[in-house]
Amino acid sequence: MAIIGYARVSTTHQKLDAQIVELKKYGVDKIYTEYGSGLSQKRPVLDKMLNELKDGDTLVIFKLDRLARGTQHLLKLLEGFEERNINFVSIQNHIDTTTPMGKLIFTIMGAFAEMEAALIRERVLSGLQAAKDNGVKLGRPSATDKIEKAISLYATTDQPVEDISANCEISVATIYRHLNKQAVPLRS
């Protein structure tokens, strides 16, 4: 059961020293350091560290914003830690999932994230319904005109299906599917 530290700064001009000092004070066995924006999807050191964490390990960070891109990302990570039996400590935020209070804070954060997701979902559905009520057609535009044109070209010309497909901006498979539906005889 190792105690692993993770420190990150946004640019190479910033220093990791303060984070590393705090992590060492906590007594970590190994520190992973990374330079890069917290908003970046590519965080190879973080990914490597997450893959190397084992059952019973403890991950220690200086502050929550050093680890995650946002609340949803943080909660996803914390849920993964809980599933894998990995403890989590944020020194400056006083979160320690090895304690009852730390677990309570984690649970409250999870509840707020669920509520936020539900509110977003509710707003999206409400917006979609309002658009429908105002006559806005939702979804992909109908390809009926393109299909009718393709079938007509197929039936009245000798153009190869590939050319008709390119001309009508629909796939060859779609053309054949509709030719079969309408029982149009296929060329030999």
Give me the active site residues, please.
Answer: 10
Residues 6 or more apart whose CB falls under 8 angstroms from that of 138 comprise 128, 131, 132
- The one-letter code for the residue type at 46 is L
Run of H or E including 128? helix 100-133
Residues 6+ apart with CB under 8 A from 80: 50, 86
Phi-psi region of 168 (alpha: psi -120 to 50; beta: other; left: phi over 0): alpha
Distance CA 61, CA 9 (A): 12
